[in-house]
Structure 1
Amino acid sequence: MVRFKNRWFLVELIPVCEQQRVSTRLDAKQIWAALKEGIQNYFSDVGWGSVADSLTVKYFSPTTNICIIRVARDHHHVARGGITLLDSINGIRIVPYVIHMSGTIKHAQLSTIEYNRKVIAQYRARAQTPASYKDSYDEYLDTSTQEIESLHD
C-alpha cells in the first residue's frame, strides 16, 4: 500500500495596513478561496488541477495570522508559488511569509507552536508587560497548542 506524501507550509499572513489588522478577521475558507483564485490566475487550470485535490488549510489563527497549509508533495512548487503571489484576501492587503516547509505534520506542528510563542513574546514586548504578568495570551497559547497538537493528516 502506498501512502500519500504531503508538504506542510507554515505561513504568516501579514496585513499591510495596521487598521486592517484590527478590524478584519480572516478564516480558513477565505484563505483557501484566495489560494484557489491565485493559482488559477497565475498557473491556469492546469496548475489548479494539479493541487486541487490535496490543497487544504488545516489550521488558521486569527490572533497571530498563522496558518498551516497541506498540499501533495509532487506539486508543492505550484502551491508555494500561489502562496507567495498572494497579495490580498477578500480585499485585505497581505504579505504572505512562508516560515517553514516540512514533510510531516509533526514538524509543522512543532514549528507552529514555537513560532506562536515568538509572536506572542513580540506582542508582550510591544506592550511592555513584565514576564510574570498573566494576560489573555497565556490562555491563547494553551488552547492553540492543544488545537495544533490535535491536527491529523
Structure 2
Amino acid sequence: MVRFKNRYITIEVEPVKIPKTNSWELDTGKLYKAIVNTLSTLHGDFGVASTTGGFSVKYCNKETKIGIIRCRHGPHKLIASIIPFIKQIDNNQVQLNTLYTGATLHQCYKFIKSYQLNHLRKFYSMLHDVEKHKYFEYEKSAMDLKVFNKTK
C-alpha cells in the first residue's frame, strides 16, 4: 500500500474593507470555495483535478483569522501559488498571507501557538495595566486550539 504525503499550509486572512472592531467570521466552507474558484481560474481543470483528491480546510480561527489547508504533497505547490491571488471570500475583499508550510498538523500547531503568543505579547505591550483585564477573553479565544487536541 502506498502512503500519501500531505502538506499543511498555514494562512492568515486579512479583511481589507472590514474594520478590525467589526466581527467577520472565517468559515471553512467559504475558504474552501474561494480556493477552488481561484484554482480553476488560474490553473484550469488540471489544477482542480490534481488538488481536490486530498484537499480540505482543516482549521479556521474566528478571532485571529488563521486557517490551515491540507493538500497532497506535489499539488500543494499549485495551491501555494494561488494563495496571493485570492481577493474575495463570500463577497468580502480579503488579502491572504502564507505563514507556514509544514508536513504535519502538529508542526503547524506549534507554529500557530508561538505565532499567536508573539502577537499577544506585542498587543499587551501597547496596553495599560487596567486595559489588560478586558482582553483576557480575547486571549482565551485566540489561543483556542481545541481542533489540534482531538487529532492526537
Q: Normalising by the residue count of structure 1, what TM-score does the alignment of the two structures yield?
A: 0.85
Q: Distance in 1 between matches of 2:85 and 2:70?
A: 17
- Once the two structures are TM-superposed, the CA of residue 26 in structure 1 deviates from its matched residue by 2.3
**Structure 2: runs of 5 or more not aligned:** none
Report the residue type matching 2:138 in the other structure.
Y
Q: Distance in 2 between matches of 1:151 and 1:31?
A: 21
- Once the two structures are TM-superposed, the CA of residue 141 in structure 1 deviates from its matched residue by 4.5
The aligned length equals 150
**Structure 1: runs of 5 or more not aligned:** none
Structure having the higher helix fraction is 1
Alignment of 1:3-152 (within 5 A): 3-19=3-19, 22-126=22-126, 128-130=127-129, 133-134=132-133, 135-141=136-142, 144-151=144-151
Report the residue type matching 2:141 in the other structure.
Y
- Once the two structures are TM-superposed, the CA of residue 19 in structure 1 deviates from its matched residue by 2.8
Identity of aligned residues (%): 21
Q: Normalising by the residue count of structure 2, what TM-score does the alignment of the two structures yield?
A: 0.86
What value does the CA root-mean-square deviation take over the aligned residues?
A: 2.3
- Once the two structures are TM-superposed, the CA of residue 138 in structure 1 deviates from its matched residue by 3.6
